[in-house]
Amino acid sequence: MGFFDRITGGGQIPTHERVTNVQITPIGVEKVEKSLANGLEFDVLVSIKKCQPCSVDEVARDLNRPENKIRYVMRCLKSKGWIQTL
């Protein structure tokens, strides 16, 4: 089970673990400012930047997108070091 599965419930996970928040890293800020991110990655980074720290469901609501798509993008951004968990 991956990190973001624990946030949104990939099985019998206690509720308090599903509210883990993320924030943008300095590298992520740089990518947004230089517009090196594209498409949904860019939208997710901008959403996180304006409401950080935030959870997957908060970003999904802000962007009006399905949580599973946002969760996937966040995994990618985390693997690039553009966001971090708190």
pTM, rounded to two decimals: 0.65
32 assigned to some structural domain:
yes
Alpha-carbon distance of 86 to 69, in angstroms, equals 21
pLDDT, tens only, 64-85: 999 999 999 999 888 888 888 8
- The pLDDT of residue 7 is 45
Nearest alpha-carbon partner for 10 in 73, 49, 68: 68
3 assigned to some structural domain:
no
How many residues would you count in the chain? 86
27 assigned to some structural domain:
yes
Domain with 71 in it: what CATH number?
Answer: 1.10.10
pLDDT band per the 50, 70, 90 thresholds, residue 6: very low
2 assigned to some structural domain:
no
pLDDT band per the 50, 70, 90 thresholds, residue 3: very low
Q: What residue numbers bound the domain in which 35 lies?
A: 19-85
Provide the domain count of the chain.
Answer: 1
39 assigned to some structural domain:
yes
